[in-house]
Amino acid sequence: MGASKTDHFTEKQNQLAAIAKALGHPARVAIIEYLLSVDSCICGDIVNVLPLAQPTVSQHLKELKNAGIIKGSIEGNAICYCINEETLSILQAFFSHINNHLQIKKSNCC
Amino acid sequence: MGASKTDHFTEKQNQLAAIAKALGHPARVAIIEYLLSVDSCICGDIVNVLPLAQPTVSQHLKELKNAGIIKGSIEGNAICYCINEETLSILQAFFSHINNHLQIKKSNCC
DNA sequence: AATATTTATCGTAATATTGCAATATAAAAA
DNA sequence: TTTTTATATTGCAATATTACGATAAATATT
């Protein structure tokens, strides 16, 4: 196996899982943090910042892009990446939802 | 390969990635949602709720537990699972951090 | 004690992920 | 036009993940 049985779950569950999965690697977390740390979007220097080879970084960027977490646009012979707020807000809404529920019911065991 | 180079990233980045990764499967999202939907923690009926075989569910529960997202305690011959708020608050803090940054700088390109 | 119930573990097959060298592509600079 | 610069793609090896049948372990029930 190795493949998730996505068709047995709701669209929403699959969507949330896909976004979370894309963030489930330290290099990709580092990319997001770097994108945040610079003032605008970045055109070029991600590879020099990460401790990974260029093809590997390119692959991680691709996955973040596929998950909709970042957007990239061509800027001369470089590519300009920035965070896609809409996608991350989906995850944030999920966590707000969780926290609301947890605070209301004040878990009565465990 | 197939193994992440975790030693090249910060503890925080690895921690965030590990939690996100644990949420990166629809079955595990479904488990969290089910844990939220019932009033207290659940002792037993997770397997019947998910469209997966019992060993598979057990494995997913183990991963959520390893990531610190849920806690389990023995309750007779069943096991009582519930959400660990502390761990999820780490992710929520990350997203708040991101959103604060994004709102401040109001991305000037892309 | 014998049986049922609940959850975990083992073993294994199918597939996915990670990482990089080599190479391709495409625009910029010389 | 040739060369440089920046990024993507391909191919491949090592490892991880997903799923489940078979089985184990541990408590409850009869």
CB-contacted nucleotides of strand C (7 Å): 4-11, 13-22, 26-28
Compute CA distances A96 → B57, B91, B95, whole Å.
26, 11, 10
Contact across the interface for B95 and A109, Cβ inside 8 Å: no
- List the domain boundaries for chain B: 10-105
Q: How many CB atoms lie within 10 A of CB A28?
A: 26
Q: Which CATH number fits the domain A10-105, given the four candidates 3.30.70.100, 3.90.1200.10, 3.40.47.10, 1.10.10.10? A: 1.10.10.10
pLDDT tens profile A46-97: 899 999 999 999 999 999 999 999 998 888 888 889 999 899 999 889 988 8
Point out the nucleotide closest to A72 (alpha carbon to C1′).
D7
Point out the nucleotide closest to A81 (alpha carbon to C1′).
D7
- A41 in helix, strand or coil? coil
- B51 in helix, strand or coil? coil
Angle, CA A90 vertex, CA A89 and CA A94 arms, to 5°: 110
Name the residue with higher pLDDT: B99 or A13: A13
pLDDT tens profile B45-67: 889 999 999 999 999 999 999 99
Burial of B7: CB neighbours in 10 Å, binned 0-12, 13-18, 19+: exposed
Residue B2 pLDDT class (50, 70, 90 cuts) = confident
- A49: closest CA of chain B, how far (Å): 11
Per-residue pLDDT at A109 exceeds 80:
no
CB-contacted nucleotides of strand D (7 Å): 5-11, 13-22, 26-28
Residues A28 and A23: their CA atoms lie apart, in Å, by 6
Closest CA to B87 of B74, B108, B70: B70
Closest CA to B23 of B88, B72, B97: B88
Closest CA to B47 of B38, B59, B58: B58
